[in-house]
Amino acid sequence: MKAAAKDADFVAAVAEHFVARRGRGAMLSPADLACLADWERAGVDAATAIRGIDEAFRRGGEIRSLRQCDWAVEAERRRSRAGATGAGEGRLEETSLAAKPAALAAALEEAAASADARARAAIQNAAASVRQLAETKNAVQTQKGLDKIERELFTEIEKTLPAEEAARLEREARAELRGRELDADVARRTVRAITTRKLRERLRLPSFSI
């Protein structure tokens, strides 16, 4: 129960700060919840996540999802671990931006090669769409495009799942929520995020964050 309480504190603190910075809409999307789960598994604490969110907003652009803050939170995490200011971190992100869609597309193509026939076409289509983002120079716009491609990919993959397998994934996801006090809507969104994570792991799909 203590671990569950700690998890809930992290989610509540980071979600509240992000919603306040975004300035509209109190609800987090399944992708946002999945992002919070990824940060938690990576050992990101709430203070580090909040600094990263603030940095993403400081850079400008319209921030709609937590995924758009992922690069900044990761930079903060590395700076915290190194115990340094990381003055060149932002420049590294900017100079490597153009190469990231190509690297992600290559990883998707590799995953498609080992996927079953039901999911292969959807993954290959996603890889082709990601490659088209290579000319986008703005990190916020690139992440928006990746978020859209990711949502469409998992929607297509879920359509290919046999009913029995889809039900099993949902049961497993709900089992992970035991001991957490979440309202019905947050629980539903979190189940969706966990299901997406399980499909990502099963199909060895990369993260869509830049």
pLDDT digits (tens, 9 = 90+) for 168-180: 988 888 887 777 6
Structure tokens at 161: 């799942």
List, in order, residues 6 or more apart from 101 with CB less than 8 Å away.
130, 131, 133, 134, 136, 142, 146
Domains of the chain, by residue range, sit at 2-95, 97-203
pLDDT at 30: 81
Cite the DSSP H helix spans in the chain: 2-22, 30-41, 46-58, 70-82, 89-96, 99-114, 117-131, 139-160, 163-176, 184-203
pLDDT, block means (10 residues), the chain with 210 residues: 51 87 77 86 86 85 84 83 46 54 89 90 94 77 83 90 89 79 73 82 80
191 secondary structure, DSSP code = H
Query: Tens digits of per-residue pLDDT, 73-96?
Result: 888 887 777 653 343 333 334 445
